[in-house]
Amino acid sequence: MNFDPNKYRYFSRRSVVYGTRGMVATSQPLAAQAGLDMLKKGGNAVDAAIAAAAALVVVEPTGCGLGSDSFALVWKDGKLQGLNSSGFSPAKFSSRNFESENFPRGWSCATVPGVVAGWAELARKMGRLHFSDTLAPAIDLASRGFAVTPVIAELWQKAFDEFKNFKSPEFSHWLRTFCPSGRAPKAGEIFRSQALARTLRRIAEAGGEDFYKGDLAEKIITFSNKTNGYFTAEDFASFKPEWVSPISTNYRGYDIWEMPPNGQGICVLIALNILRNFEFESDSRDEFSSLHKQIEAVKIAFSVAKRYVADPKFADIPIDDLLSEDYARELAAKIDPEHAQNFDDAREKFGGGTVYLVTADSGGSMVSYIQSNFMGFGSGIVIPETGISLNNRGACFSRDPESPNYIDARKRPYNTIIPAFVTKDNKSLAALGVMGGFMQPQGHVQVLTNLLDFGMNPQEALDSTRWKWNNNLQVSLEPNFPESQAEKLSRAGHEITREDSSLDFGRGQIIIKTEYNSIAGATEPRADGSVAAW
């Protein structure tokens, strides 16, 4: 039979999934199952998150790789902690990187990968299982192969259409690694990578150390030197993840938690603080007044984030002031209830390729986790015979010398990836996130208001049609966005574009604890994912 796996002409509904002993929600079913396998082996939510994240490197290489960054919010033993495992720029980085012919691809924007160190740190401090056990499903998937899923196949094809034209030596191994048949794999086609399996096996055996101080690090540095890259052995040997205190605001009686800068999570909190100054009817989600205020609040929050978000080692970021009630009221007063305004061209115009997942176990632990190569397949650089694809996170540095996020050596750039968490009365309630570059804060705001203002269940909150502010007055709408409200937004001065696809509107996951001592999960309809429950 011939059929199109990305065409669905009839309405379809996903139900909320419930479980009692554990749950994993990811954007790819095999990764969700890998995480659930760890829970059934006696592991906890942290073990499940590591297993799912490692599996996603294999089955969703369009969004992440062993050259990724990662952030995690972990609720364990009654406490929420944050792990920042985003990498810094090489010591040789400078503003000349932005002048590269292939920017934002290539060595001009590859930063030190943090994801492997992040997995190892989570396993060491919070996991129950041996690190090799949690990576075993990923190794098996890479070695035996897996059937490519529809959305990932579409993104893979988009990457092939771009990278097939790159002729510089640093890109020579992307096609060999990810398109060995000379084309992108089709949905349902089996893809395997023995090179990636060998690398994952080595990472498992060495507890991640080999990636930063051993043979794997040496292979990365050798290829960098051979193809005019910037990495040095010291760049890798000196990298370590950092445990950080999450930041929060209270919205409608719930504490919303995000990672502190260099992540852009503060953008979500500022937008929610602005919206806290307005009341919304429970049935008004798709009405002009609600949509307009959310869009304007997001625009203002991005303009603030652009001025302040950077590596805190290089900048003084007044987080308490930015999240104060007085500042929120001041920002809310800037919103004209009837007209769109141009607050600032506050974001770069790059898309993002990222994976987000959530896990929960029967002991009450929950993990909100995200990892990313930034743009799809990141820099396009793949280290020979390893399957390691490097990120292009350095593209998020600012070109403005006056910006705290201006490019510098050994500096972490403004990072778009942001996991989120919700607590109430000092108790864990929900882990959630929406991936997608600069769509992420916008996705968080839309999903959180869906849950807390408009009373949606978690699946409904993800299913709801989305908008995306691009820059200036430009706002994109999903194909099925209500036409009547699109017209009202346009009349108010929003420059509306209706997109043909939903691929650029983020992909999220949610797990919520219920009043019945069970857990409820939801997964993104714009992705191939699933909720695996026990």
Q: Known catalytic residues?
A: 354
> For residue 192, what are the contacts with CB-CB under 8 A and spacing of at least 6?
142, 143, 144, 145, 146
Half-sphere exposure of 221 (CA within 13 A, CB side): 17
Quote the tokens at residue 132.
Answer: 């090799």
311-344 CB burial, b ≥16 within 10 A, e <16 = bbeebebeeeebbeeebbeebbeebeeeebeebe
Task: Please name the amino acid found at residue 244.
Answer: V
- Spatial separation of the C-alpha atoms in residues 143 and 124, rounded to whole Å: 26
Report, in angstroms and rounded to the nearest whole number, the Rg of the chain calculated over CA atoms.
Answer: 22
| Contact present, 453 and 252 (Cβ < 8 Å) | yes
Quote the tokens at residue 290.
Answer: 């609600």
Half-sphere exposure of 64 (CA within 13 A, CB side): 32
In SS3 terms, 411-442 reads as CCCCECCCCEEEEECCEEEEEEEEECHHHHHH
Q: Determine the 3-state secondary structure of 453 from DSSP.
A: coil
| Contact present, 466 and 443 (Cβ < 8 Å) | yes
Residues paired with 522 in a beta bridge: 510
| Contact present, 87 and 239 (Cβ < 8 Å) | yes
Work out the angle between the directed axes of helices 131-144 and 115-126 (0-180°, nearest 10).
Answer: 140
> For residue 7, what are the contacts with CB-CB under 8 A and spacing of at least 6?
none
Angle at Cα 97 formed by Cα 83 and Cα 390, nearest 5°?
Answer: 45
| Contact present, 432 and 509 (Cβ < 8 Å) | yes
- How many Å is the maximal CA-CA distance in the chain? 62
| Contact present, 86 and 70 (Cβ < 8 Å) | yes
Residues paired with 249 in a beta bridge: 256
| Contact present, 266 and 319 (Cβ < 8 Å) | yes
Polymer length in residues for the chain: 534
Q: How far is CA 268 from the centre of its chain?
A: 14
Given CA atoms 273, 277, 281, 283 in this order, what sign does their dihedral have? negative
